Amino acid sequence: MDLFEAVESTGDNQVAGWVQTTDGIRLWVTIQGTGRPLVLLHGWTMSSLFWRRQLTLADQFQVITIDLRGHGKSQDTPRGHTLPRYATDVREVLIALHLQNVMLIGWSMGGSVVMEYWTQFGLDKLSNIGLVETAPAPMSPAPWNTHKCHGNNAEAMRDNVKAMLKDRTAFTDQFANTMFLSGQAPSHALSWMQREQLKISPQNAAVIYEDYANRDYTPVLPTITCPALIIYGRSRHMCYGPSTGRYVAGSIPNARFVILDKSGHLPFYEEPDLFNEALTHFMHQTAS
């Protein structure tokens, strides 16, 4: 049985549709191009649209984006909003699409999904990984951690959730702005970024945020045996920036570390040419 239901096709090797998980949730997946698979995972309350400036990579690779459950176009559900379930969802998408030799890249919370994938499945279906502006332990008291929950600050975590639940429009406005290095999102980006954040229900957003904030993947990093590309910006208004990036890259045995100096939390969007160039070089360098 074909586990992928294609419902949109624009030609030129572009298709989108649904993968149904083993617990019955429909995930929205887009596929563009042919060649070595590059699977991109978005961050907390975001969607696959945030990777829109990476679609040019489909000239050389098969670019696949996934809306995590409850996010973007994927099915709204109160079930399964944990990083282990998200990682299982990703593996089920890889199985449904018959993918092998995948580079799995995660941004922010998506990076935690990648680390959880490694924890559960190791190299199964993967050749290498990418971590973009992510942290292995948002609650860590270590000096490399710039998250507001630094130092096991559960109160900061709860305050963040309360602010989101109290006024989602104000929260998404602030969140979108602080992702940029300048602290202000361009007008052409702000509206669609706000719209995408609002697609996940506030209740589900709260559940996965608390799960994410309480995870600690620092012991996992030294166990990653595949080549890893680590890309960070120089966030001034939001985590994570160079200190976290240096720690993550230094903890993975075979990692390449890239800092994009004119980016905040969105290096792939603020400096797409340099990001895509670094990714392309890495993909060619690690081709088997």
What is the residue range of 11's domain?
4-285
**Strand pairing partners for 133?**
none
Question: What token pair was written down for 53?
Answer: 């400036």
Q: How far apart are the C-alpha atoms of 64 and 137, rounded to whole Å? A: 27
Q: Using CB atoms within 10 A of its CB, is residue 10 exposed (0-12), middle (13-18) or buried (19+)?
A: exposed
**Structure confidence at residue 7 (pLDDT):** 84
Q: Are 15 and 6 in contact (CB under 8 A)?
A: yes
Query: What is the domain-level CATH number for residue 117?
Result: 3.40.50.1820
Question: What token pair was written down for 168?
Answer: 């989602």
Q: Structural domain tally of the chain? A: 1
Which of 270, 260, 246, 245 is closest to 182 using CA atoms? 270
**Structure confidence at residue 21 (pLDDT):** 96
pLDDT along the chain (288 residues), means of 10: 77 88 96 96 98 96 98 97 98 96 98 98 97 95 91 90 92 95 94 96 96 97 98 88 95 96 97 98 89
127 three-class SS: strand
Query: pTM of the predicted model, to two decimals?
Result: 0.96
Q: Are 245 and 264 in contact (CB under 8 A)?
A: no
**Structure confidence at residue 1 (pLDDT):** 41
